[in-house]
């Protein structure tokens, strides 16, 4: 499968152009706020993508032990009683259509669904967009930090029973195939695929109002199944990704609470009954009820 994603150089250059255009429009046409917002957000997300692509080619540690780390993860999972990913893959291998569909889903839906949801939130629920976008940035950045330590995906462990089905069917998005142990293939821990699919599901359920929004749960279910049967990730890769996502939510919640307390602490005091004023029994950080 041809890799249609941008290189980090192309993504970085495009991001710079978009951010520059956003600044130029803001200075020359300040009333075009929507255009400025679109250019700024597109540039920001492309910059994040460029960083992700770049990290895939860098490493703080030697790649020589990436396979050893993957084998250790697999052994640890088995000792803990988790299902063997290789057995899941073996159950699907006889069904070539399912394997091809899984390869396609892994390669294309990861970005397509995220972009679609970001556009939907930006266009239809603008007030909630900063929360979704910030979550994407935080969890992806956290994943990138860990990915500086190279870890091979299961498909590079044939002795453990795994098969590189993407290479087998000519659908691999990695240049160099199964034998090219390059750093961009050694970023299996944690799984950004899993982090993003869970993030997308949470965003749609929290932001949407239609009862059909619950169907989005099919996306993380399919993604987890796909990353396992294609041998691109271990269970542990997904579990770590979900924990990082929870930390991203917790960080935003904590910052939001801190801002509320600071904001309420700066509220003007009323005459004898205001925030923290004489005669007031309401804590200084708790907002006062408004009256009309």
pLDDT in tens, 12-56: 788 788 888 877 877 787 777 777 778 877 878 778 777 776 766
CB-side neighbour CA atoms (13 Å) of 72: 7
Q: Specify whether the CB–CB gap between 135 and 248 falls below 8 A.
A: yes
CB-side neighbour CA atoms (13 Å) of 65: 9
Distance CA 185, CA 232 (A): 9
Q: What is the mean pLDDT of the chain?
A: 82
pTM: 0.78
Distance CA 26, CA 38 (A): 12
pLDDT for the residue numbered 61: 59
> What's the average model confidence in pLDDT over 277-289?
40
Q: Specify whether the CB–CB gap between 211 and 95 falls below 8 A.
A: no
pLDDT for the residue numbered 110: 87
User: Would the pLDDT of 8 be above 70?
Assistant: no
Q: What is the pLDDT of residues 85-98, one digit of tens each?
A: 999 999 999 999 99
Q: Which band of pLDDT confidence, cut at 50, 70 and 90, is reported for residue 254? A: very high
Q: At 268, is the secondary structure helix, strand, or coil?
A: coil
What is the percentage of the chain residues whose pLDDT exceeds 70? Answer: 80
Q: At 151, is the secondary structure helix, strand, or coil?
A: strand
DSSP 84: P
Q: Which band of pLDDT confidence, cut at 50, 70 and 90, is reported for residue 180? A: very low
pLDDT for the residue numbered 271: 46
Q: Which band of pLDDT confidence, cut at 50, 70 and 90, is reported for residue 228? A: very high
Of 58-67, 134-143, 193-202, 280-289, the range with the highest mean pLDDT is 193-202
Other CB atoms within 10 Å distance of the CB of residue 127 = 8
Backbone angles phi, psi at 58, to 5 degrees: -120, 165
pLDDT for the residue numbered 69: 94
Q: Which band of pLDDT confidence, cut at 50, 70 and 90, is reported for residue 261? A: confident
Of the listed ranges 26-40, 55-69, 79-93, 125-139, the least confidently predicted one is 55-69
């Amino acid at each position: 499968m041809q890799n249609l994603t941008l290189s980090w150089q192309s993504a970085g250059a495009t991001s710079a152009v978009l951010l520059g255009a956003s600044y130029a429009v803001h200075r020359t046409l300040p009333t075009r706020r929507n255009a400025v917002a679109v250019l700024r957000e597109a540039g920001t997300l492309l910059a994040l993508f460029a960083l992700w692509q770049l990290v895939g080619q860098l490493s703080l540690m030697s790649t020589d032990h990436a396979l050893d780390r993957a084998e250790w993860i697999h052994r640890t999972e088995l000792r803990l009683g988790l299902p063997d990913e290789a057995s899941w893959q073996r159950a699907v291998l006889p069904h070539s259509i399912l394997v091809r569909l899984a390869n396609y889903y892994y390669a294309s839906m990861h970005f397509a669904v995220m972009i679609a949801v970001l556009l939907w939130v930006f266009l239809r629920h603008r007030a909630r967009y900063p929360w979704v976008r910030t979550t994407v940035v935080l969890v992806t950045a956290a994943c990138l930090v860990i990915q500086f330590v190279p870890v091979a995906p299961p498909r590079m462990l044939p002795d453990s029973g795994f098969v590189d089905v993407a290479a087998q069917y000519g659908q691999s998005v990695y240049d160099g195939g199964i034998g090219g142990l390059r750093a961009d293939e050694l970023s299996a821990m944690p799984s950004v695929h899993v982090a993003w699919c869970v993030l997308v599901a949470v965003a749609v359920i929290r932001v949407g109002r239609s009862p059909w929004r619950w169907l989005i749960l099919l996306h993380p279910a399919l993604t987890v199944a796909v990353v396992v049967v294609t041998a691109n990730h271990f269970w542990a890769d997904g579990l770590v990704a979900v924990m990082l996502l929870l930390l991203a939510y917790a960080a935003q919640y904590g910052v939001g609470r801190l801002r509320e307390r600071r904001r309420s602490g700066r509220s003007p005091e009323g005459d004898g009954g205001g925030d923290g004023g004489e005669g007031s029994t309401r804590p200084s950080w708790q907002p006062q009820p408004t009256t009309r």
